[in-house]
Amino acid sequence: MVVLDFILFIAAVLLIIGLRKLSHPDSASRGNTLAAIALALGVVVALIYPLETQNNNYLFIGIGILVGAIIGIISARKVAMTAMPEMVSLFNGFGGLSAGLISLVWLINNGSKGEGSDLGVVLFNLFLGLVAFSGSMIAYGKLSGKLKDEHLKIPFSTVVNILLLIVTLGAIFYFSYLGVLSTPELIAFLVISFIYGVVFVAPIGGADMPVVISTLNSLTGITAAVSGIITDNKLMLLGGVLVGSSGIILTLLMCKAMNRPLLSVIFGNFSSSKGEEKQVHGNAKEVTAADLAVQLAYSQRVCVVPGYGMAVAQAQKILKEVEEVLEDKDVEFKYAIHPVAGRMPGHMNVLLAEANVSYDKLLDLDDANNYLDTTDVAIIVGANDVVNPSALDDPASKIYGMPILNLAKTKNVVVLKRSMNPGYAGIQNPLFFKDNTKMLFGDAKKSIEHILRELKEV
């Protein structure tokens, strides 16, 4: 036991160091490796610990590990960067489910009985695990395009959400008081918990999805921590606490970035719109890649605003080449990163890190807005909602109140898009019709490649 405890201690230290290193792109790869080693050690110790006193079946354990490893390796190798958010959501959901199932096994082994506090903790953990699972599955469906908002319309969703939450928490306290629940009652509890996760995420879409992913991630961390208590697995407890607490902190930061109160996350109602949305009219002006290249070459400051369209086109590496060419021409080049650009927290940071873009060139929301005020040319690559001025001046807009990257004072704005179709939030962007804005239609990667060729000849 002493040796196993020492291994767990080493694993815990490696996990903390690994997570700490994930906070910066330069050390993120090493941090990920250390965290993976720590968790692998934890799995080995978890397998050995109960086998000292119980006759466990290695065959079933081995099959589970083998199947999980095969699925994980194949998924990781095949997933495109554009599909990374839905994969994160999918894996997070199964993490919540697996942790929740630990509570279900505890209930089955104990005949759904226990001292009040024990039964309450187990039921609460089961509730969180199922919410994380069903909510993540809905998020996965939305992010992958398999589920549309019109398919998930729930009348009076906020009221239903609150009622389900009250019923579920009330049931936990009630059964904790009784110290027992019957099989039909357990099944009903499972169904209601699952439905709550669906109702929780269903009304939320568009630009708010990264906040939902962060919230669900924190729930998975919490349920993993509680599962660590139930199974007396110290590493699972530590890992769950770290994931849960960091997820909560990230959720709070994302709520601040979105200008949304935390209660709106809990009750699943992010909408702050009032009245009827303004109609957007106007004629979009186009620019050619050749003209834009000349404009960029003779600028002093250029700023790129990346969005999900950059991920779709896989344009980050060619953007890096444009950056290098312009810097050779003494042009200052930066990237304006909105906290919820893309489909998950840090999505744009990951893409740009893949292209070896220096972390120092990434500007957060406040610094980016100050920089954009004095920028000669801002290039929007596939971003829609995070630059939509309706968030500032249209109280009826779905995104009203959300802080945006404000390009009102930028001298010239060029938008790289395939078409004039609205963004993920489903609303048109008035910025595209402003006097200082021009459109460059087409695949973002091909457009930037054309710009790069023209730049080399200027």
- pLDDT tens digits, 213-258: 888 889 999 999 998 888 888 888 888 898 888 888 888 887 776 6
- pLDDT tens digits, 77-93: 887 766 777 888 888 89
Residue type, 195: I
CA proximity to 273, closest of 153, 393, 408:
393
Q: What is the pLDDT of residue 207?
A: 58
Question: Residues in the chain with pLDDT < 50?
Answer: 52-53, 270-272
Please tell me what DSSP assigns to residue 180. Answer: B
Question: Cβ(211)–Cβ(340) under 8 Å?
Answer: yes
Q: What is the pLDDT of residue 453?
A: 92
Identify whether 373 is a catalytic site residue. no
- CB neighbour list of residue 138: distance below 8 Å, 6 or more residues apart: 147, 152, 197, 198, 201, 202
Domain map (residue ranges) of the chain:
1-78, 82-271, 289-457
Integer angstrom CA distances of residue 441 from 284, 347, 418 = 11, 23, 5
Q: What is the pLDDT of residue 32?
A: 87
Q: What is the pLDDT of residue 347?
A: 80
| Model confidence, pTM | 0.76
Sheet holding 332-336, edge to edge: 362-363, 332-336, 301-306, 377-381, 412-417, 437-441
CA proximity to 444, closest of 313, 288, 335:
313
**Class of domain 289-457 as given by CATH:** alpha beta
Q: What is the pLDDT of residue 6?
A: 86
Which member of 385, 393, 394, 435 is catalytic?
385
What is the chain's percent helix, strand, coil content, to nearest 5? Answer: 65, 5, 30
377 backbone dihedrals φ, ψ, rounded to 5°: -135, 125
